[in-house]
Structure formats: C-alpha cells, structure tokens
C-alpha cells in the first residue's frame, strides 16, 4: 500500500507544495476544455487549474481533443510555475523546455464511443517525424530536380544531334555513280586540255 501511494500521480496542491517533482513523480491531469492557449485541467482529486502551454503543445492538444473523448497530459518531473493574469486568475505554466518530459494520451475515439482504444503522443517523437518527413521531402525534391536537369540535358543533346543531322542532310553532296563531283571536274578539265591542246 505504501508503494502504491508513492506511485499515485501528484495532485495540483502537492505539486505546489513541492515546487518541483522528483524523478519518480508524475502529474496526470485530464483536459476538459480550453480557451486559446489556456487549458482547463483536472487532477485526480478533481481540482482544476488553468494551464498555459506553448504553441507546439497547443497544436497537438487541439488535434487530439477533436479525435478522442478524453485527453490526459502526463508530466514527468513536473515544475510548479504560476502566473496571475489580468483578471486575478492564477494559471499554471508549461514551457518549451518541459515538453521532453510530457506525453499526451488520447482515450476512446469520438468516432466510436464504445471503443477503449488509446494512443500516446510525444512532442519529441512528433517533431522528429516532422523533421524526417521534411528531410525526405527535400531529398525527393532535390532528386526530382536533378532528374529534371538530366532529362533536360539529354533532350538538349538529342536536339543538337538532330540539328547536326539535319544540316548534314541539307548540305548538297553531288556524286556521280560513287565518284565525287570535284573529281569529275578535274578529270573533265584534263580531257578538255588534252583534246584542244593537241
């Protein structure tokens, strides 16, 4: 039982008392709604805190919130940071540096209310996939560009070859039964000279 109590997720109040969770501590809060970057999150004691999150986490949460009936944020080694807004409301804050310790769980697809399917999302994994996808896209684009340049070069060479062939075909080459025209002229001149000079 003692071990089980140690493994229970922290509550908001416990985190506020600790200030910062240790390596074994986790904060699990259920997302119930949001207004812009401010998310309404309830802990295991059903205590609510509004949490301000970075844009990258906001984008992920919005996409998951539309697909799953329940969304849970799991934060390992959480840190208590608060900010009082203009209305006097106290908000918890998650920073970009915290994302490496945060995963998001989506439970029960909205498309199938009876399903118990769940999925875990990691900001690090998502970012890595996006970078890999971007890299593959860049390499593919570069490959297509090189292929296009090579094809264009081949077309240019082929066009030059066809042009040379056309020039050669258009150039008149007079032959008389396999004997070139200049040779015929020379022979005719010698015969003419021998006939009229004799």
What's the confidence (pLDDT) of residue 145?
A: 44
Per-residue tokens: 66: 């539309």
What's the confidence (pLDDT) of residue 35?
A: 87
What's the confidence (pLDDT) of residue 150?
A: 43
What's the confidence (pLDDT) of residue 41?
A: 96
- 150 to 136, 139, 154, 162: CA distances (angstroms): 21, 16, 6, 18
What is the three-class DSSP state of 162?
A: helix
Segment 36-55 mean pLDDT: 93
Q: How many residues does the chain have?
A: 198
Give the global pTM: 0.58
List pLDDT tens digits, range 88-136: 888 999 999 999 999 999 998 888 878 888 899 987 755 444 434 333 4
């Amino acid at each position: 039982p003692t071990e089980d109590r140690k493994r229970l997720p922290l509550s908001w109040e416990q985190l506020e008392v600790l200030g910062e969770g240790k390596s074994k501590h986790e904060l699990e809060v259920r997302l119930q709604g949001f207004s812009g970057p401010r998310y309404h999150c309830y802990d295991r004691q059903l205590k609510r805190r509004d949490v301000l999150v970075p844009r990258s986490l906001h984008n992920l949460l919005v996409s998951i919130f539309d697909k799953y009936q329940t969304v849970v944020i799991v934060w390992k080694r959480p840190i208590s940071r608060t900010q009082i807004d203009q209305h006097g409301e106290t908000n918890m804050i998650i920073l970009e540096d915290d994302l490496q310790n945060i995963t998001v769980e989506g439970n029960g697809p909205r498309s199938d209310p009876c399903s118990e399917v769940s999925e875990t999302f990691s900001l690090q994994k998502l970012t890595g996939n996006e970078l890999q996808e971007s890299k593959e896209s860049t390499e593919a684009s570069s490959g297509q560009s090189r292929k296009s340049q090579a094809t264009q070069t081949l077309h240019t060479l082929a066009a030059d070859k066809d042009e040379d062939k056309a020039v050669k075909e258009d150039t008149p080459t007079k032959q008389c039964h396999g004997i070139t025209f200049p040779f015929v002229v020379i022979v005719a001149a010698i015969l003419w000279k021998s006939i009229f000079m004799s």
